[in-house]
């Protein structure tokens, strides 16, 4: 795959992915069980819809909460009495224990790493399969699927690691609605908050490859 250097979007996506790919193997004061519970709550309670799956934030919907969230008491106070666009989360909807677990999750997300050091970017393996060490999934064992690494670097932050959706709509099963050429057209002429990724950082070939990957998402 060609290098798409110089794109701020790609750098932001890489940062998100770096956070995504390394958190399960971090050692941290909070227990892995709490962190995992916090990740699940962050999804279930809809925080991810505005703050991004990895707390990376989005200009359109909400600020970044990770990797350095506000202190736990401040987070508790904030969700009970938010200042702006954010909805109120009462204790019936979100207990203090829930907030604490979400805080553990957000605090467990590490700062970014160079994208090239992340094995997942090179083989398109889903995060959902659990902790992954870079040695167990090297690029020599798993030759990259065409388009998978382009997807991971440019699309996954909004459409989800496995196309499950997030800021952008789910792409799983998209072949029932779109053909590859339609997906290419959506990338070339995006609507809504989806950014222009063509002709830079993605080349025409990259667009074909990533569309071919997206259409295969099941
Ligand atoms: C509908 C969108 C939306 C949802 C859902 C949402 N937030 Fe927010 N959040 C925002 C926005 C927008 C802000 C920025 C200030 C404001 O407008 O309230 C914010 C601010 C915050 C802040 C303050 C950040 C800072 O740097 O001061 C915290 C903490 C926070 N949100 C946590 C959460 C948690 C935890 C959840 C889930 C339980 C959540 N938010 C769900 C939109 C959302
Ligand atoms: C910053 C977030 C973001 C990024 C990055 C992004 N998208 Fe999107 N995408 C969206 C949003 C939001 C929509 C919905 C647009 C709308 O509502 O008009 C969308 C829509 C789409 C659609 C149409 C889905 C449908 O059901 O109609 C496709 C296909 C798509 N994106 C593919 C991609 C691919 C492939 C990439 C990477 C090359 C990508 N997107 C990168 C946010 C993003």
Whether 156 is covered by a domain: the verdict is yes
CB 158 within 8 A of CB 168: yes
pTM: 0.46
What's the pLDDT tens digit per position in 102-146?
999 888 887 654 444 444 443 433 343 333 333 434 434 455 567
Looking at residue 146, which CATH number applies to its domain?
A: 1.10.760.10
* Integer Cα distance of 72 and 68 in angstroms: 11
Domains held by the chain: number: 2
Terminal alpha carbon distance of the chain: 23
Q: Sort 73 into a burial class: Cβ within 10 Å, 0-12 / 13-18 / 19+.
A: exposed
Q: Residue 145: which domain range?
A: 117-214
* Residue whose C-alpha is closest to residue 19's, from 60, 63, 61, 64: 64
**Which residues, judged by CB distance below 6 Å to any ligand atom, belong to the binding site of ligand 1?**
45-47, 49-51, 61-63, 65, 70, 75, 78-79, 82-87, 89, 94, 102
**Ligand nearest the Cα atom of residue 96:** 1
pLDDT tens readout for residues 39-81: 889 988 888 888 888 888 777 778 888 878 888 988 999 899 9
Inside any domain, residue 4? no
| Atom number of ligand 2 nearest to Cα 214 | 35
Last residue of a domain, one of 84, 108, 132: 108
Paired tokens of 18: 């770096």
> Does 210 share its domain with 135?
yes
C-alpha 74 to ligand 2 mean position (Å): 34
181 and 128 co-located in one domain: yes
Do residue 100 and residue 124 come from a single domain?
no
Q: Does any domain span residue 56?
A: yes
């Amino acid at each position: 795959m060609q290098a798409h250097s110089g794109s701020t979007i790609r750098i932001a996506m890489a940062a998100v992915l770096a956070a995504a790919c390394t958190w399960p193997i971090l050692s941290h004061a909070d227990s892995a069980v709490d962190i995992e519970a916090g990740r699940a709550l962050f999804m279930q309670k809809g925080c991810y819809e505005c703050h991004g799956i990895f707390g990376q934030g989005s200009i359109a919907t909400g600020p970044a909460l990770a990797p350095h969230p506000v202190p736990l008491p401040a987070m508790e106070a904030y969700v009970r009495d938010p200042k702006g666009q954010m909805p109120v989360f009462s204790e019936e909807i979100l207990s203090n224990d829930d907030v604490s677990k979400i805080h553990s999750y957000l605090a467990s997300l590490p700062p970014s790493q160079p994208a090239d050091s992340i094995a997942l970017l090179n083989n398109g393996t889903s995060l959902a399969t659990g902790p992954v060490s870079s040695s167990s999934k090297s690029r020599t064992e798993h030759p990259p699927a065409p388009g998978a690494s382009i997807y991971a670097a440019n699309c996954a932050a909004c459409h989800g690691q496995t196309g499950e959706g997030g800021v952008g709509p789910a792409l799983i099963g998209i072949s029932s609605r779109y053909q590859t050429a339609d997906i290419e057209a959506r990338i070339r002429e995006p609507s809504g908050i989806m950014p222009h990724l063509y002709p830079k950082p993605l080349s025409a070939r990259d667009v074909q490859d990533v569309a071919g990957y997206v259409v295969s998402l099941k």
